[in-house]
Structures are given as structure tokens and as C-alpha cells.
A and B are shown apart, each in its own frame.
Chain A
Amino acid sequence: GEDVEQSLFLSVREGDSSVINCTYTDSSSTYLYWYKQEPGAGLQLLTYIFSNMDMKQDQRLTVLLNKKDKHLSLRIADTQTGDSAIYFCAESYNQGGKLIFGQGTELSVKP
């Protein structure tokens, strides 16, 4: 079945690294995504990773994928107060296909 799980809350201090975790159940998922949702703003794609990759880095963002454990993580280096938002993990079976979302992790960054 399709199920994506995330912890609901994470609180960090400004300048620290944040790590947001996600687990998924369907091994046929081929694309995994991280989205950011800020109050009053639309859902924004941050980054994605193909299932044949282990890691992807994009500026302050690092995505790690452990296919054996079906675990995905998003690391934000040097977290800023502007990074405070809800972060959603999502999976899909093919490019352009429907997305299955986790329930979101609310990141709070304290100055």
C-alpha cells in the first residue's frame, strides 16, 4: 500500500543543521520529493531524488535516500528563521504521476 510517514514537529536554533525524516512503504516508488509550505504561500518544490540515487546536494539542502530501509531525509545546513515552514515528503511511481504526501513536518527555527 501507499503510506508516507513523517514526524510532526522539529525545533532547531538558527545556524544549526535541521534533519527532517520520512519513511515510505512502497518500494516501487521511483521519485521522492521534498516540498515546502509557508503560511499564505503555495506549495513549493524544494528538491527531488530518483530512486537509483543515494544522495543529492543542492546548496544548503542535502537529500539522503536509503532504499533498503525506505528512509528519506532532508538536511538543511545553517538553518535560518526564513526556513520555518512545513516540509512535506512525497513519492510517485513515475515522472509526472500523482504524488503521495506525508503529513508534513513543522520546522520551527528559533533565533
Chain B
Amino acid sequence: GAGVSQSPSNKVTEKGKDVELRCDPISGHTALYWYRQRLGQGLEFLIYFQGNSAPDKSGLPSDRFSAERTGESVSTLTIQRTQQEDSAVYLCASSLLLAGNYEQYFGPGTRLTVT
């Protein structure tokens, strides 16, 4: 079956513009996560959706960042008024979250460059 997919794979935008990044999780996975990886850094947690529970937004760096998830399917991460420090690879992961299967499967990421 298909893995986690993300689009676009690359996005170049001008400072101050809004961007939307899309994640399609593995079908049937109830949990979805967004992370950010700046150049030469580890991954930083941004937000986590699990089923119908309220999302864990504790990692969002500012109110310019928001994310939505429709049911247990696609998620969109939106960055408003982009800044140069938002340049990074944005990674999405999904997980089945059933007994014995909690692995997070990562997508290939969206490389965002803010000029």
C-alpha cells in the first residue's frame, strides 16, 4: 500500500506570503503528526492529531502556524505571513495507534524556502 505522501515536494515563496502544505496519511491511520526540520537540525514537533480528540498544538512556534485535519484523512499545515526563519523541511507522519503498532511512518517532506 501507499505510504505517507506530502505535497508539494518543494515550495519557494516570498517573505510575507501564506503557504499551505498538504499531507496524505496512510489509509486507516488514526494519528497524524507534523514536524519541522531546519538545516542541520533534528526534528521539532509542531502538532499532533488523534482521532476526534482535540489536537496537541503545543509545538506550534507562533500564531502564524495552524493545521487542520479532515476526519482521519488529509491534513493541511498553513503558515501565514511567512518569514525567512520558516525555511525548513516540513515532515508529516502517521500512525495506526493500535496495540503493538505505534510506529510513526514519515512522509518525504516538503522543503519550504522563504526568500
Contacts and interface: CB of A to CB of B under 8 A. Distances in A.
Interface in A27-66: 42-45
A104 B20 CA distance: 28
B104 interface: yes
Interface stretch (A10-18, A71-79, A92-100): A92-100
A101 B59 contact: no
Interface residues of A, number: 17
B42 A98 contact: no
Given A42-B107, A45-B104, A96 B43 contact: no
Interface string B36-53: 000011111100101000
Contacts of A100: 45
Contact of B50 (A42, A44, A96, A101): A96
Given A43-B91, A43-B106, A45-B103, A96 B42 contact: no
A42 B45 CA distance: 16
B108 A42 contact: yes
A99 B92 CA distance: 12
A99 B50 CA distance: 14
B65 interface: no
A24 interface: no
B10 to A, nearest CB: 13
Interface of A: 4, 42-45, 88, 90, 95-104
Contact of B42 (A44, A45, A88): A88
Contacts of A45: 103-104
Best-surrounded residue of A88, A95, A98, A104 (most CB of chain B within 10 A): A98
Contacts of B31: 96
B14 interface: no
Nearest to A89: B42
B56 interface: yes
Nearest to B38: A103
Given A42-B109, A95-B102, A96-B102, A103 B33 contact: no
A98 B33 contact: yes
A44 B93 CA distance: 11
